[in-house]
Structure 1
Amino acid sequence: MTESNRFHCSRGIRRTALSIALGLCFAGTVHAQSNTAGSVFGQAESGDTVQIVNTQTGFTRQITVGGDGSFRLSAIPAGEYRVIRTSPSGEVNERVVRVSSGSGSNVSFVAAASSSATALDAVEVRGFAGAVNPIDVSSVESVTILTEAQLDRLPVRRNATDVALLAPGTVRGDNRFGNLASFGGSSVAENVYYVNGFNVTNIVTGTAFNQVPFEAVQEQQMKTGGYGAEFGRSLGGVINVTTKQGTNEWKGGVSLFWSPDSLAKGTPFAYDPTRSGTYRIVDTGSKTDSFVYNLYGGGPLIKDRLFFFGLFQGKDDTEVLNYENGSDRSKEDSPQGLVKLDWYINDSHRLELTAFSDKNKIKGTTYQREPGDLTIGGGTPIGTFRAEEGGENYIGKWTGYLTDTFTLSALYGRGEYSRFNTNTNAESCPVVVDVRSSGTAPVGVAGCWIDTFRGVPDAGDVRKAWRVDGEWVLGDHTLRFGLDREEFETVDGSEYSGGASWRYVNATPGSTAAPGVVVPPGVTELVRFRYIGNGGTYLTKNNAWYVEDTWQVTDNFMAYLGIRNEGFENLNSEGGTFIDIEDTWAPRLGFSWDVNGDSGLKVFGNAGRYYIPVYANTNVRLAGPELDYTEWYTFTGIDPATGIPVLGEQVGPRNYTSTGEIPDPRTVVDNNLDPMYQDEYIIGTQFTFAPNWTAGFRAIRRELQSGMDDICTGDGAANWALANGYSEEQAEAIYGALEHCFLTNPGKALSANVDLDGTGTLTRVDIPAEAIGLPEARRTYTALELMLDRAWDGKWFLSASYTYAKSKGNTEGYVKSDNGQDDAGITQDFDYPGLMDGSFGYLPNDRRHSFKLFGAYQLTDELRLGASLLAQSGRPINCFGVYPGDGPDPVAPLYGVASFYCGEGTSVPVSYEDGLHPRGTSGRVPWVKIVDLRLDYEPRWAEGLSFGLVANNVFNREDYYRVRDDWDTGAGDRVYSYKFPTGFVAPRTVTFSVQYEF
């Protein structure tokens, strides 16, 4: 190695055998990695030949080292590789390295000709392959990768979300949206999920995704920030799963997992049968008896060329869900599976085919108790229900290693997701809720209804997507580029069970329950009727292209420059385009500085802009035929079977939110609409301080630059029109154009197409932001992450992190955890100015402190212990009530319990003057502290056999993630259950496992 070598190691490095064998001499051209493969890079002498050979499949690639001494082999499938360097004179040196998806493995042969070469030949290069957060100086991203071997040592629940929650900067989301994670303060609906490079995110609401059976997972990668231009459609995180594949050796196995309900604790519940406002936490007896079995195997159909892997998963889950006025008994027994074919056509071309099914069918019976029965659960059967979710997915991918410096890949995928649900009572039993203090239903529900909504029989989605990605190494630069397109067809429609919703409430005479609805004198109880129904078939189309350059500026300083361009198109139920956004520009910049030139100290940073598509939920709710209205009545009796009231007089008018007409697509969206996007800034470092030990920190700042939501207010626009020369009729038309709910960027100037004169001719009207009277959408996330990792050395490993974070703003994003609303893009935020009073504060995903600790220890040759600890502070508490009738917004009361005005600490009725309780100022939920343990026994007397025992929530702590934030019943009176805990952590479960591999 000469001084003129462009990629020489720093002269200050101590050239010990260990440092070189570990590949710690930073060299070669590096770049941000793809989500489906990794790379091997490093340095040798000019003219050397470097060959990699997968130790399990025989996959081989070979290149000749260029004049600068660097080499790079990209798009490498995850696995273990022999890296063989051959000099022109025939001298051979070999290393062994682990390649993971989305990361670069550094191997250096620069000292191979030195006097220490003989000693080095015996050293296997494994670097920090056993570490959870290895130092990868080739990347500017914030990434956590967990392999199958690591997951098999941990007591983590067997799903993608719980694995993702091990990464720094992630917190569990509101359980009303399912089992989902929030990344970096974003909502749970703003992540993107991949399986073998195919986007499996369900973008109706963003709260669902397809998952492969857990035993088919080879690696799971979590990008928590700073990801490159290749990735988009996410403001949160990226979760990528790489599945197992066949090898040159036929292998198979069977695994069994049993979680008996007899060893489980029931889900806790805050119980107050007398509605006195004083609760006790009880065990509801809600449990699941789960039995899951897997049969799997794989091997060579043609040695070194064609490989097969297949897995079949069966299960038999029986769930008992007890609640205050009854129970559900359900059963899940849907088979699932995966098939993977890998065809290495030759050393230059590779073809992958993946097919998997995660379709899940649930069927059960609902039981209900008689009014006045204050026990939990039980009851007599009132009907049956069926539900189906998930579907089938097919992925094909070709990778071509066209030259030593140019790689090209192409992918096509098709995925299905079902959202079917039905029950025997859906036609005849309306939704009935009774929150009166004198109500006869034990917990506020009555009647014979089972599910809140009944959907159309064929509700579901089909995704079709393709993408092309390329990489070209040009001297100091590695250029990557790509383009992709997705088309998403959504069939959706729903209506309240029984076609109606009835809500019985206490009322205060003289108070306002909704616009024009004033409680009459002497009336202390009312019932609200609501109808909502919609449906249709909708298309959503997303496309993008990107270009990025990783530039090796100096020997140990790498700069990353990328740009991503995206477009989003949404169509209404008649096939008309109502959103067509083109050319969104998302720059990405970053650097990685290998300070000492030995990969022992990395300083990195990045800045980027990230966009998210307009989800299909917006098509369904905003651009389809939706009818939504409410009416209020007095009543004289209640049908004991259905809960339907015997109506008295109607109080006030019918209030419409949607009229049921399909709007002209040009009239429902701002002409200048920006999709939601945010900017992110990260600075951090990682360093080694002892053998196998790494530490680091990251400082993170995320700022929402443009929120997107619907507004349903036209008063301010109409007043502005009258003041600016428009006639009263024209001002009324402008009012009507916005009043039916209009998609825009809240707090910014608005441009609407309005039929000003009733002729059908649309005129563009530009309205200033101050006329609308709404604040600009704001969300910020500021965090400091501290990480500590010890790599597995055959004896033990450990990973620890602490995150201090603040998530603040007036909108959570694509969901609203305040009320469990998953209407992506059209939550109740910003609908009316009065609802935004006091809305700025700490958001639901604000968990100020998070401690995570997990690892494993090999007790003996046969016994291994795994453990995980989570300690996390609670989210803020709010106080929600009906917007006061004496406030300046006359329509905000229409939404009922939806404002930050409440009676906490004040008199009733709530007044505009003293009733405001800004977001997050009513306390905080207590800390959550969970310990999970795992014990594995691998007997030496039976090779391939293993036994496992996992105990989750070992101490059965009854911690909870949220409380009830509704102070108001909906008619100005206090709810007895305000601040009652809900959203409890999963109770203790015990899982036994047996696995045999052959």
Structure 2
Amino acid sequence: MTTHKGRNYWSAGVKRTALSLALTACFAGGVQAQSNTSGSVFGTAASGDTITVVNTQTGLSRTVTANADGTYRVSALPAGDYKVTRSSAAGESSERTTRVNTGAGANVSFVTAAASSETSNLDAVTVIGASAVNPIDVSSVESVTILTEAQIDRIPVPRSVTNVALLAPGTVRGDGRFGNLASFGGSSVAENVYYINGFNVTNIVNGLAFSELPFEAIQEQQIKTGGYGAEFGRSLGGVINITTKQGTNEWKAGANVFYSPDSLASGTPLAYDPERDGSYRIVDTDSKKDSVVYNVYGGGPLIKDRLFFFGLFQGTKEDEILNYAAGHDSSTLDSPQGLVKLDWYISDNHRLELTAFRDKEVTDGITYSRADGDFTIGGGTRTGTFRTETGGDNYIGRWTGYITENLTLSALYGKGKYSRGEVNSNAADCPVVIDVRSSGTPPLGASGCWVGTGVVGIPDAGDERTAWRFDGEWVLGDHTVRFGLDDETFETVDGSEYSGAGYWRYLNASPGARLANGAIVPDGVTEVVRFRYFGNGGNFETQNSAWYLEDTWQITDTLNLYGGIRNESFKNLNSNGGAFVDIKDTWAPRLGFSWDVNGDSTFKVFGNAGRYYIPVYSNTNVRLAGAELDYQEFYTFSAIDPVTGVPTLGTEIGTRSYTSSGEVPDPRAVVDNDLDPMYQDEYIAGIQFQLAPNWTAGVRAIYRELKSGMDDICSGDGAEAWALQNGYSEDQAGAIAEALSHCFLTNPGQNLSANVDLDGTGELSVVNIPATAIGIPEAKRKYSALEFMLEKAWDNKWFMSASYTFAKSKGNTEGYVKSDNGQGDAGITQDFDYPGLMDGSYGYLPNDRRHSFKLFGAYALTDELRIGANLLVQSGRPVNCFGIYPADGPDQHASGYGVASFYCGANGSYDYANSLHPRGTSGRVPWVRTLDLQLAYEPQWAPGLNFRIDVNNVLDSDDYYRVQDNWDAGAGEKIYDYKNPRGFVAPRSVMFSIGYDF
């Protein structure tokens, strides 16, 4: 990466009447927000009727009385199938069945709204979309997609949380350099939040990882793409909410195996440079992978109607060969994982859940090097070995109490560990060596003996989260009040260094060009080598807390108004335990409405507005407030060691350029006193309606705008000039410049308040610097979209879900990652470091996919045979032209970052006045088209037995998601593969599965 460094609690001690009046006065907008662990049943009956809801799988029973207007609501229900019975005072009764999904409400009405005040035997109002992916839930304004285990099994979607999330409208696949992650509504892939049974499992080192269940343990996956209520926070993107399987009153067990042979996989296409005499150089490739995943599971009642058990063990064995330009990795992944879930219904009014799961993965591999142009799989010379470990153990306990008919409380406590350890055999002796010369002496191709990514972490790197939360719901006549608070502490152990304690990069050079350290390439020099050292580490702590309060007002029989407020606090500590970020009392209002136009859940009009904050990730602790040493040097050279790739050095060009000194900075001196966390505002309006029985359609309009960005700046020149003009001495102005030049966390484009040692005495003084003096633009990101949806619910014959999204994502920052260069440094990307790097930065962002068509579904050919399909057609992301900031530009430091600006050369030259290529103006990546198919056989002669064949990318599309955006090799010369393909779609693969449930 080309980077520089690269509690408040609510008390319910108020009277019922006062609380209701206060909430009504404070909130004038959304609808009923739903819990992240349960759903609800609501509807209408005759006034005074008794409504009893019974889970047909566990026997859980709840009874409520219909209000004076005939409405009723039963909340905090675990996902499952329910029998709903209405009993009148006259002894009449009727019965309905429904499905309750996590985070959603099921409408079960026994009379129409107009007849609810009378005793009536009218037919029930049908629950619209109960088996749909996007059900019409008139109790919610959230933009949500719900996929159950049965729905997922009917379609050929790769079995991962992200791939399921990518089925939802408004989601796009993120840059593959960050892993398999999704972008929601124009946000970066690092701005989502992930829950399992109510426990936040997002890894907030940089937001690019999360704890995952064995996929077969998932009962439902809920994908919130916008409009979520005050219960949810710490996300600017989406919410992925997982509910696990659990035991029932019937003992059940089963096993299955999923096998993907590499012999039937096509492998990713090879990208090449046709200008190099037609010879190939592998620049980006996935791999052929031989994979076997097997599961054994079972569950049932330990005590009927009271105590239930479910357990699952998953084994994984993957053999993989990953090709790249100078060699390949041959690795084996061993991943024993599992889940245990206990549900204890202590009584009809109290429930206790205990969840434990492991998602640890260990990968052992061997690295081989080979000559350029040799594509032999398994060939080459053995270089070294590596071992990585990710994931860990998680424990969750949750109590739910139905205190009265109108009051429900719940409490959760959880602990989770996530390992990020890695070792390799060559880390001590083999530095990173990269050769990007188009030609040179010694011959092109020096690569050395380094192993892995080049940045080696410490073996015990990892994170531990401890969290608790308390939630409540109180029905007060026409008002449903929900409230809660939560707290989490995240402990991080981290450290990394370049393999072999350094990174050598060979470059072609142009005499007279400026190098990244500010020096000029001497006459006659056409090749240089850059050396960079980078290392950091320490123990860090991050603390997040929040409380929320919301009210849903059933203003009429068909109109819900919702208002909520969320208050969050964020605290980050440096490696010495000092707080360098301590933000209290962020206020995030949420407003909305839902109108059940026909009063029968067949036509819904809704809208919402909300503000959303995201924490300061602990990556910022590591990079900005830890002990970090980062510098670079440039040399001529005369020879290259054939084993290590290390050069025989000639003359040093210029001097060593430091970015970080290696000392732990004073926490008061690296952060803006008035720092705001990153937040955005969101507005959504939409409709959903029934076209015919089992058919629904809808449209949503979405607008999101980043209101405050958060990043670091590393330029003090403008502040120094301002200080000299405003009465500060030269020494004091220099001190101000020095304070900002070592990289300073702030809100770009806003006034800045810094603590500076003005006189060298160690005493810090507050200096308030206007934004105009610093010269950094305000962080901007805007997303607008129209989403169109059409759905046919499963009717034991077929189902279909289709969507088209027209979207624009524009701004000068992607957010917590930078897909431009694959930088995952949340909160401290190279954006905004120097004014010159921001020239031309406003434009269409990497997650701008203007058009997205998604279609998936299944069709039962016979009682035993079923086919499924999943189609994606999506336009490509914008293309950029990155180069070195010109030597004749006004920013004398921006060129120090090398290929990092929107200035790129033409005919080997840079010109500040004429070489600017603004963001997204250098073309578009072509469209991506993929089709997946499934054939399933469930023989009637053996109930519970099933066979499936899934073919992903059946047409073997060789489309790709990005191109090489760097025009420059790093020393003023065009790179050989500018605009060559990168990030190919997953190649065609075949998965066979067999399962048996009994």
**TM bracket, shorter-chain basis:** over 0.9
How much does 1:370 deviate? 4.2
Whole-Å separation in 2 of the counterparts to 1:83 and 1:468: 29
RMSD of equivalent CA atoms: 1.9
Q: Give yes or no for contact 1:275–1:977 (8 Å, CA) kept in 2.
A: no
For 1:608, give the aligned amino acid.
G
Q: Give yes or no for contact 2:364–2:388 (8 Å, CA) kept in 1.
A: yes
Q: Give yes or no for contact 1:900–1:916 (8 Å, CA) kept in 2.
A: yes
How many residues align? The count is 966
Report 1:449-598 matches (<5 A): 449-598=451-600
Aligned to 2:231: 230
Deviations 1:45-102 (A, max 9, x none): 2222111111111111112223232211100000000001111222221100100001
Aligned to 2:810: 808
Aligned to 1:910: 910
- The question of 1:409 aligning with 2:440 is answered no
Whole-Å separation in 2 of the counterparts to 1:713 and 1:195: 42
Report 1:421-460 matches (<5 A): 421-439=422-440, 445-460=447-462
Helix, strand or coil for the counterpart of 2:656? strand
Whole-Å separation in 1 of the counterparts to 2:370 and 2:311: 47
Aligned to 1:357: 358
Whole-Å separation in 1 of the counterparts to 2:143 and 2:415: 29
Whole-Å separation in 2 of the counterparts to 1:556 and 1:505: 68
Aligned to 1:690: 692
Q: Give yes or no for contact 1:435–1:444 (8 Å, CA) kept in 2.
A: no
Whole-Å separation in 1 of the counterparts to 2:186 and 2:824: 16
Helix, strand or coil for the counterpart of 2:610? strand
- The question of 1:149 aligning with 2:137 is answered no
Aligned to 1:895: 897
Aligned to 2:3: none
Q: Give yes or no for contact 1:565–1:585 (8 Å, CA) kept in 2.
A: yes
Task: State the identity as a percent.
Answer: 71
Whole-Å separation in 1 of the counterparts to 2:283 and 2:463: 40
CA gap of 1:553–1:277, structure 2 versus 1, over 3 A, is farther
Aligned to 1:52: 53
For 1:389, give the aligned amino acid.
T
Deviations 1:581-639 (A, max 9, x none): 00000000000111222222111100000000000000000000100000000111111
How much does 1:689 deviate? 1.5
Q: Give yes or no for contact 2:70–2:117 (8 Å, CA) kept in 1.
A: no
Aligned to 1:11: none
How much does 1:378 deviate? 2.2
Q: Give yes or no for contact 1:387–1:422 (8 Å, CA) kept in 2.
A: yes
Aligned to 2:988: 988
- The question of 1:718 aligning with 2:681 is answered no
Deviates more, 1:84-93 or 1:198-207: 84-93
How much does 1:447 deviate? 3.8
Whole-Å separation in 2 of the counterparts to 1:44 and 1:77: 23
Aligned to 1:267: 268
Report 1:595-744 matches (<5 A): 595-744=597-746
Helix, strand or coil for the counterpart of 1:683? strand
How much does 1:127 deviate? 3.6
For 1:533, give the aligned amino acid.
G
CA gap of 1:114–1:491, structure 2 versus 1, over 3 A, is closer
Q: Give yes or no for contact 1:590–1:604 (8 Å, CA) kept in 2.
A: yes
Q: Give yes or no for contact 1:325–1:442 (8 Å, CA) kept in 2.
A: no
Aligned to 2:924: 924
Deviations 1:166-197 (A, max 9, x none): 00000000000000000000000000000000
How much does 1:275 deviate? 3.5
How much does 1:165 deviate? 0.2
How much does 1:455 deviate? 1.1
- The question of 1:963 aligning with 2:963 is answered yes
Whole-Å separation in 1 of the counterparts to 2:118 and 2:807: 51
Aligned to 1:836: 838
Question: Which runs of 5 or more residues in structure 2 are unaligned?
Answer: 1-29
Helix, strand or coil for the counterpart of 1:732? helix
Aligned to 2:258: 257
Report 1:339-350 matches (<5 A): 339-350=340-351
How much does 1:315 deviate? 1.3
Aligned to 2:16: none
Helix, strand or coil for the counterpart of 2:655? strand
Deviations 1:879-900 (A, max 9, x none): 0001111111111111000000
CA gap of 1:39–1:284, structure 2 versus 1, over 3 A, is closer
Whole-Å separation in 1 of the counterparts to 2:118 and 2:373: 89
Whole-Å separation in 2 of the counterparts to 1:249 and 1:303: 9
Aligned to 2:79: 78
For 2:314, give the aligned amino acid.
Q
Whole-Å separation in 2 of the counterparts to 1:330 and 1:820: 23
How much does 1:44 deviate? 1.6
Helix, strand or coil for the counterpart of 1:770? helix
How much does 1:30 deviate? 6.6
TM-score by length of 1: 0.95
Whole-Å separation in 2 of the counterparts to 1:948 and 1:282: 35
Whole-Å separation in 2 of the counterparts to 1:516 and 1:762: 31
Report 1:224-373 matches (<5 A): 224-272=225-273, 275=276, 286-370=287-371, 373=374
CA gap of 1:31–1:450, structure 2 versus 1, over 3 A, is closer
CA gap of 1:235–1:119, structure 2 versus 1, over 3 A, is closer
Aligned to 1:15: none
Helix, strand or coil for the counterpart of 2:58? coil
Aligned to 2:19: none
Q: Give yes or no for contact 2:325–2:372 (8 Å, CA) kept in 1.
A: no
For 1:246, give the aligned amino acid.
G
Whole-Å separation in 2 of the counterparts to 1:285 and 1:748: 43
For 2:164, give the aligned amino acid.
V
Whole-Å separation in 2 of the counterparts to 1:703 and 1:114: 45
Deviates more, 1:741-750 or 1:450-459: 450-459
Q: Give yes or no for contact 1:325–1:377 (8 Å, CA) kept in 2.
A: no
Q: Give yes or no for contact 1:97–1:125 (8 Å, CA) kept in 2.
A: no
Aligned to 1:61: 62
Aligned to 1:395: 396
CA gap of 1:954–1:347, structure 2 versus 1, over 3 A, is same
For 2:932, give the aligned amino acid.
D
How much does 1:324 deviate? 2.7
Helix, strand or coil for the counterpart of 1:617? helix
Deviations 1:485-516 (A, max 9, x none): 01000000000000000000000001101243
For 1:952, give the aligned amino acid.
N
CA gap of 1:979–1:452, structure 2 versus 1, over 3 A, is same
Deviations 1:98-150 (A, max 9, x none): 00001101111227999998795xx8965422111111110011000001110
Aligned to 2:775: 773
Whole-Å separation in 2 of the counterparts to 1:274 and 1:614: 45
Q: Give yes or no for contact 1:104–1:138 (8 Å, CA) kept in 2.
A: yes
Whole-Å separation in 2 of the counterparts to 1:281 and 1:646: 28
How much does 1:285 deviate? 8.6
Deviates more, 1:760-769 or 1:440-449: 440-449
Helix, strand or coil for the counterpart of 1:653? coil
Whole-Å separation in 2 of the counterparts to 1:283 and 1:404: 60
CA gap of 1:124–1:507, structure 2 versus 1, over 3 A, is same
How much does 1:997 deviate? 0.5
CA gap of 1:732–1:185, structure 2 versus 1, over 3 A, is same
Deviates more, 1:320-329 or 1:265-274: 265-274
How much does 1:843 deviate? 0.2
Q: Give yes or no for contact 1:932–1:953 (8 Å, CA) kept in 2.
A: yes
Deviates more, 1:927-936 or 1:30-39: 30-39
Aligned to 2:12: none
Question: Which runs of 5 or more residues in structure 1 are unaligned?
Answer: 1-28
Aligned to 1:170: 171
Helix, strand or coil for the counterpart of 1:619? helix
For 1:762, give the aligned amino acid.
L
Whole-Å separation in 2 of the counterparts to 1:901 and 1:478: 56
Whole-Å separation in 2 of the counterparts to 1:811 and 1:30: 33
Whole-Å separation in 2 of the counterparts to 1:516 and 1:376: 43
